[in-house]
Amino acid sequence: MTEIGVKLAFALGQIAVVLAIVLLTVMLLTLAERKVLGWMQDRMGPMEVGPYGILQPIADGLKLFFKEDIIPAGANRLMFSLAPILALVPALIGFAVIPFGPTITWNGEPIKPFVISDINIGILYILAFTSIGAYGIILGGWASNSKYSLLGGLRSAAQVISYELNVGLAIVGVLLLAGSLSLVTITEAQSGGFWHWFVIAWPAPQLLAFVVYVISSVAETNRVPFDLPEAESELVAGFFTEYSGMRFAFFFLAEYANMILVSCIATILFLGGWNAPYPGTIIEHVFGSPDFAFIENIFWFTVKVYFFLFLFFWLRATLPRLRYDQLMRFGWKVMLPIALGNVVLTSIAAYFFPTGTP
């Protein structure tokens, strides 16, 4: 009985910490994005609130919290209220299976303090839930009773269908090599130096799959250059045109949480997750204290995730938005064949050069 109590308290603590870290990162990202965009465009970004504008996310949060909550006339109230939650919850729930750090040994028993739940279908679970997030966008667009929102929602539906497929196919190669759907197992299969990371690992480098995954994940999170659902210049603000106050903030949070989530997945699947680019860890080899090696592991995980987040900003600062038909053509005629070909090649390679994993 007490054991269950301890486990429950531990799990709840993990959930609280992960949620807090994710939401803090979102706050950081809203500031970092504007700063990075500004710097890339010879501007300064926010400068007014606090020194160099570092308190801007707090000011934004307060502003959104106190804004009037408007439900447009003729909107479907239930759907309108449900949509932001439907967008946010799946984005946050995905973090339940993300391993941020390694399995460590405590009292002779291996425990996993850096992943809330290591279920054996981790990646499938994430794919399933991120798809639900698309409903939030589509329903939000439909329930607003506004043509811009509806168009944004429809675009989002088409976009998610096209690119979800590519994401699924792009990761199949990794799953074939790792022989598991659990994110912890996938990460552990890539330990021992950057030449074991699946993006370049023998026998089947997943470089093409990696490119396909990154492009598709940008499309899935509705970021520039695939931000058609919220195209400001055409659709005002797309699916959340009619949203205000906290509901708008929910969509915003969902978008950034999704960004973090896809960055985490890209890190885990292709760039070796928490593994350092050299075998083992410096803390273990040089200082001889394997108990603290997780610090270095978590550091590497963070670095890789932030690299992807920076890539999102970088793309946004550079690229113009794609046209709708270009987006569709690119998704179905270019990315899908590449992803499929990669699956075939990887299967053949994995058949002839079995790597030992079942």
Partner 1 sequence: MMPSALPTPRSTPLTRLRDWVKTITFYELLVGMKATMTHFLNYRPITLQYPHEKRTLPDSYRGMLALLRYDDGTEKCVGCDLCEAACPSRVIRVVSAEVPGEPTKRYSKEYYMDMTRCLFCGLCVDACPVDALGMTREFEWAVYDKRDLHLNKQQLLAIGDRSYPVREKRLELQHPNVAFFNVAFQHLPQKPE
Contact 173, 340 (CB under 8 A): no
**Nearer to partner 1 (CB atom), residue 41 or residue 233:** 41
**Nearer to partner 1 (CB atom), residue 215 or residue 266:** 215
**Nearer to partner 1 (CB atom), residue 71 or residue 317:** 317
Min separation Cβ 315 and partner 1, Å: 8
**Nearer to partner 1 (CB atom), residue 16 or residue 334:** 334
SS3 110: strand
Contact residues: partner 1, CB under 8 A:
36, 38-44, 47, 314-315, 317-319
Min separation Cβ 48 and partner 1, Å: 9
Min separation Cβ 267 and partner 1, Å: 20
Contact 79, 142 (CB under 8 A): yes
**Nearer to partner 1 (CB atom), residue 137 or residue 208:** 208
Structure tokens at 244: 């205000």
Min separation Cβ 28 and partner 1, Å: 18
Contact 190, 197 (CB under 8 A): yes
Bridge partners (DSSP) listed for residue 105: 110
Torsion on CA atoms 78, 82, 83, 86, rounded to nearest 10 = -150
**Nearer to partner 1 (CB atom), residue 3 or residue 42:** 42
Torsion on CA atoms 344, 349, 354, 357, rounded to nearest 10 = -50
**Nearer to partner 1 (CB atom), residue 130 or residue 263:** 263
Give kind and range of the element (H or E) at residue 161.
helix 147-178
Min separation Cβ 114 and partner 1, Å: 32
Terminal C-alpha separation, the chain: 37
Q: Which positions ≥6 away from 63 have C-beta within 8 Å?
A: none
Contact 277, 225 (CB under 8 A): no
Min separation Cβ 158 and partner 1, Å: 23
CA distances from 124 to 202, 236, 258, 347 (A): 24, 35, 16, 19
Min separation Cβ 291 and partner 1, Å: 39
Torsion on CA atoms 10, 13, 19, 22, rounded to nearest 10 = -80
Min separation Cβ 166 and partner 1, Å: 16
User: For residues 224 and 305, what is the distance between their CA atoms, to the nearest angstrom?
Assistant: 18
**Nearer to partner 1 (CB atom), residue 189 or residue 218:** 218
Give kind and range of the element (H or E) at residue 34.
helix 2-40
Can you spell out the DSSP letters for 61-101?
HHHHHHS-----TT--HHHHHHHHHHHHHHHHHGGGG---S
**Nearer to partner 1 (CB atom), residue 44 or residue 85:** 44
Distance of CA 264 to the CA centre of its chain: 6
Min separation Cβ 49 and partner 1, Å: 13
